A and B are shown apart, each in its own frame.
Chain A
Amino acid sequence: MTAAADPVLLPPRSRSRAWAKLRANPAALLGAVLVLFFVLVALAAPILPIDDPTKTSWTAVRKAPSAAHWLGTDEIGRDLLSRMIWGARASLMAGVVSVAIAVAIGVPLGVLAGYLRGWTDAAISRMTEALLAAPFLILAIALAAFLGPSLSNAMIAIGLSAMPVFIRLSRAQTMDVLTEDYVESAHAIGVPPLALLWRYVLPNIFPPILVQATLTVATAIIAEASLSFLGLGQQPPAPSWGSMLNTAKNFLEQAPWMAMWPGLAIFLVVLGFNLVGDGLRDALDPRDI
């Protein structure tokens, strides 16, 4: 939705310049560092010297941060540091996979609608509207109820509800590109449709989709947390930041650290994705040369 409002049309070739601009943007760099940090932590989880995230201890229930447990322990005596690190995997996965679902389904549909127009377009557009009009959480709750609450089903639900933005965006971009003079002349000299899409449409769709995807990863991570808040995300005993927050909210007074870490982590990683997305948008915006 966001980038759809200001379509970005760029002639292929300005990419190196965009890269230079991105590197010169301190906010985007900060974002990249944040994202990279969490991604590395998540990837390194199995080799880091940390406790088993599901190992309980009845003698260390809800203990404040200490030398033994750097971030404290949770409601059944599990080490929060290791749960945070393993939880990073779940939360990042939720963000990335659900956006991948949205892009993988949404972009082809959008391009198809924009290219074929007519009935296909009408059908796809009506469907998009219907998806948009059914509020995300209702859709997600229904899906979770139908498929059973789990992280992967939450990802499907988030992915489906993020799809309309990508359909609309790629549809609009496709229609725009197709009216460009150089594309029309290419069409006129008999370049086949697939080559047309490959050579002109896709490169033009790519930047705004990339921007949108980065920003949507951020919202998807929050969405996973919201679903976990309703008990529909990652299932115990495996951790995710959202489900940790959901539990922690019952112990805000007795054990505030339980809520602090996942809250902070969600904030930072989402901020990171937003900064990167913003930086990309600025870097790829041709109006801003």
Chain B
Amino acid sequence: MSWSALFTDRRWRWIAWSAVALLLLALPFIIEALLGRSWVRIIAVALLFVMLALGLNIVVGFAGLLDLGYIAFFAVGAYSYALLASPQFAVHWPFLVLLPLGAAIAAVFGVLLGAPTLRLRGDYLAIVTLGFGEIIRVFLNNLNRPVNITNGPQGITLIDPLQMGGFSLAHTHTFAGLTFAPVHNYYFVFLVCAVLSIVLSLRLENSRIGRAWIAIRDDELAASSMGINTRNLKLLAFAMGATFGGVAGGLFASFQGFISPESFHLIDSIMVLCMVVLGGMGNVAGVVLGAVLLTALPEALRYIGPLQQRWLGGVIVDPADLRMLLFGLALVLMMLLRPEGLWPARRRRVAPVHTGNADVG
């Protein structure tokens, strides 16, 4: 029996999925024992990126709209949370209000970006979305004068952690003999959110809406002649993608306790796009894999610096440069070896339609 059959076979799948669930629950403790607490933090961040990549996958992978400014929605979510749960305005709203609110605000921004760009495709859309991402960041950087809203480049500090009643994720708890440091607590919250995102993405993919997105991507004209309202569906893709980003942003702000415009650069948008493309555009499992790998890889490459010292007897290339160099090399190699992504979508690219040739049929 193959590995994948283990997850689909009726007798085995409960056992297989339970094993995966157990592994995910135990993972932070295993990782901590093996690699130290900093890696628990990395896998928690990886889960945030899973949410982000899945959100972008709706826009890019499902609807085929190339978005290079996706991190802006992450920023919008993060700032909506931070501004309403920090000493900045001395308001401290509960996260149960703020996370949905952040998602809604991000969705509005998604529509704001989508509406004027409906007629654009491909390269042109990419340029406009890139500009949008930068506009948001520049605004966040400069909205400290004349009225201080975002606190400019200094960012916002002392953001409230996720808390309810007296229970705060920022405290260390002991439960059943296990110590739950804040990073463990957040890992579990992020895990729940990431799993929800995965389930939502899978449901979307095989829904009427998901198929309509694929139809629009394959042939927009034919899609509209089927009675699909292409305008609304494209806007819906932007809004839904932005929602994922907005929630992830709010979680990020509460996790870090500090945010500044520095966290929302173009390179971050590109990084999320890399996760989607490299994992396998349009395939939920592939995108999750891409997000986890691309979060972990740059961190893992930090270990190369000391190795250089040991093997070559000195520092030849600056460790920081070497790390990004190897990261770039890894990206190039992966795309060369697996051009459709590590785990391509079932609906792989098919040969173009031959409209000009005679065909005996």
A, B assembled together: no
